[in-house]
Amino acid sequence: MNLTIENIVLVGSLLLFISIIVGKTSYKFGVPTLILFLSIGMLAGSEGIGGILFNDPKIAQFIGIVSLNFILFSGGLDTEWNTVKPILKEGLVLSTLGVLLTAVTLGVFVWYVTDFTIFESMLLGSIVSSTDAAAVFSILRSKNLALKANLRPTLELESGSNDPMAYVLTLAFLSLVINQDQDVSTIIFMFFQQMIVGAIAGFGFGKLSKLIINKITLDFEGLYPVLVIALMFITFSATDTLGGNGFLAIYICSVYLGNQDLIHKSTILKMFDGMAWLMQIVLFLTLGLLVFPSQIIPYMGIGLLISLFLMVVARPVSVLISTMFFKMKMRRRFYISWVGLRGAVPIVFATYPLLAGIDKANMIFNIVFFISVTSILIQGTTLSVVAKWLNVALPEKIKRASDDERYILDLPKSAMEETEIPANSYAVNKRIIDLHFPKSAFIVMIKRNGKFVRPGGSTVIEANDTLVILLDNDESLDEVKTLLAQTSIA
């Protein structure tokens, strides 16, 4: 069936609906939802029961890039700096040196067991060198897997920040495959340019985005998430235009924003969480439609060999070498090695050789697709088992308690205080977002002229307002009083 203007909305909505319903029950059988999304796409494709003809790598790549923007940005917004800071060095080394070592180790193996040239082998190794943010975020959070010793933030930081490295390596070796007489020094220059410009742009756009979000006044709360989407795409495209890595920029920008006080922040976070899931489904459905199962079968043998080598040799070796600089228990290193999930990102990167038209592009794409599927099936379904086997999972009682807390409103609850704002206070005519209240205190209601006002980040404090504040403890109250006293006129 060919997609037309008349049926594309119907077909797309049906596929989305089926994916959500099937995904809801998938974990009862231990099958990751991402595999089901891929399978539904393949079943709906030209060689499946749906018969939808889709063979456009360019459109698939465009959908992939847009989807990765949302997935990485959402992951960055959910990243708490306090949990990341203790493991920042480990995460950054894994996402840079670890990716490079994985690409080189696997590339040498592919060169040895196939008829690929060394540059083609390194290209394949680079494409599958990073762990997939969509797969890691989805599987870890869907399984509610409670891990010891900051393992979860380490894994999420690595998966969220290592795609830029794999992207640069993919472009570099693709360039060498196309132009084999090219000077390697230009590739090194491109690498540093992409990473340095991307990092600077990400932090710069993060600060600029915070200023815009908090200073601009929009009439409708629902427009703030739309504003953030615009800022996200501006960050990505502007950084790319400047010669930097757009994926790195949006991840840094989102981590910065996620740890700042923003107007209607909860609305923005909820919207991006939903959009990240939508983009995961759309991305995996699209990639499922793009692949032709009959073309994968001839490469299943070599694909399985490469996939197993990646899981049991290349990834563990890269993790062990990358973490040798840090004090870390061996079982923790082994678990990090096992959570080297490959997913949609390598498949999206595999469309670059297709569009470049290199000789072995189709073979690379099908092998990469097979590697991603086997990684999610083998590693994704055994994360809980391996965590218990390596003794890195929290005890069941602690896990259940932490799971229950996820559904409780994330507000301080221990004490409540009413504080009146005098007419000469600097808080008068200031927005709540500009007061910079401590995170341990939350204004839940404002009493004003005998009426109650529901506060938001953009709510302006008026003279003689009474703030109803929820706090964690007495120390939080002292902090609030000190803050208000420091901003009052002497």
Helix, coil or strand: residue 114: coil
Q: Which of 161-175, 176-190, 389-403 has the highest mean pLDDT?
A: 161-175
Residue 460 contacts residue 442 (beta carbons within 8 Å): no
Q: Of the candidates 229, 278, 223, which has an alpha carbon nearest to the alpha carbon of residue 254?
A: 229
Chain segment 1-48, per-residue pLDDT in tens: 555 666 667 777 887 787 777 666 555 544 567 777 888 888 887 777
CA torsion through residues 337, 306, 374, 123, sign: positive
Q: Following DSSP, what letter does each residue of 282-315 receive, concatenated?
A: HHHHHHHHH--HHHHGGGHHHHHHHHHHIIIIIH
pLDDT at 405: 42
Q: Which residue has the higher pLDDT, 352 or 142?
A: 352
pLDDT reported for residue 125: 95
CA 415 to chain centre: 35
Per-residue pLDDT at 105 exceeds 90: yes
Per-residue pLDDT at 2? 56
The confidence band for 407, taking pLDDT boundaries of 50, 70 and 90, is very low
d(CA 307, CA 110): 11
Polymer length in residues for the chain: 490
What mean pLDDT is predicted for residues 185-194?
81
The strand pairing partners of 471, in sequence order, are 415, 441
Residue 261 has pLDDT above 70, yes or no: yes
Q: Rounded to 5 degrees, what are φ and ψ at 382? A: -115, 10
What is the pLDDT at residue 204? 96
Give the model's pLDDT for residue 302: 94
Alpha-carbon distance of 74 to 274, in angstroms, equals 9
Question: Which whole-number Å values give the CA distances from 420 to 88, 428, 480, in the listed order?
Answer: 41, 11, 12
Task: Read off the pLDDT of residues 201-259 as tens digits, 9 standing for 90 and up.
Answer: 999 999 999 999 988 888 788 899 999 999 999 999 999 999 899 999 999 999 999 98
In the structure encoding, which two tokens stand for residue 397, read together?
């009682």
Q: 198 pLDDT band (50/70/90 cuts)?
A: very high
* Beta-bridge partner residues of 45: 52
Strand, coil or helix: what is 223? Answer: helix
> pLDDT tens-digit profile of 412-468?
556 777 778 777 777 777 787 777 777 767 777 888 887 888 787 778 888 878 888
**pLDDT recorded at residue 141:** 61
- For the entire predicted model, the pTM comes to 0.79
Look at residue 99 and tell me whether its pLDDT is greater than 90.
yes
- Per residue in 311-324, pLDDT tens? 999 999 999 999 99
What is the set of domains in the chain, with CATH numbers? 8-404 (1.20.1530.20), 415-486 (3.30.70.1450)
Query: Could you give the CA distance from residue 464 to residue 467 in angstroms, rounded to a whole number?
Result: 9
SS3 78: coil
Burial 116-138 (b: 16+ CB within 10 A, else e): beebbbbbbbbbbbbbbbbbbbb
Does the pLDDT value for residue 408 go beyond 50? no
What is the C-alpha to C-alpha distance for residues 135 and 431, in angstroms, rounded to an integer? 39
* Rounded to 5°, angle at Cα 291 from 290 and 297: 170
Strongest mean pLDDT among 20-24, 56-60, 122-126, 151-155 = 122-126
Q: Tell me what percent of the chain is helix, strand and coil, each rounded to the nearest 5.
A: 65, 5, 25
- pLDDT average, residue stretch 385-412: 59
Does an H or E element contain 442, and which? strand 441-448
The reported pLDDT for the residue numbered 140 is 66
Q: Which whole number is the average pLDDT over 146-173?
A: 82
> What is the pLDDT confidence band of residue 143, given thresholds at 50, 70 and 90?
low
pLDDT value at residue 399: 47
Contacts of 189 (CB under 8 A, 6+ apart): none
Distance CA 469, CA 286 (A): 48
The 8-class DSSP code of residue 417 comes to E
pLDDT of residue 120: 93
For residue 364, pLDDT over 60 is answered with: yes
Closest CA to 46 of 293, 298, 285: 293
281: Cβ contacts below 8 Å, ≥ 6 apart? 16, 19, 20, 23, 37
| pLDDT higher at 441 or 118 | 118
Please check whether residue 103 is in contact with residue 129, taking contact to mean a CB–CB distance below 8 angstroms.
Answer: yes
HSE, CB side, 13 Å, CA atoms: give it for residue 128.
Answer: 35
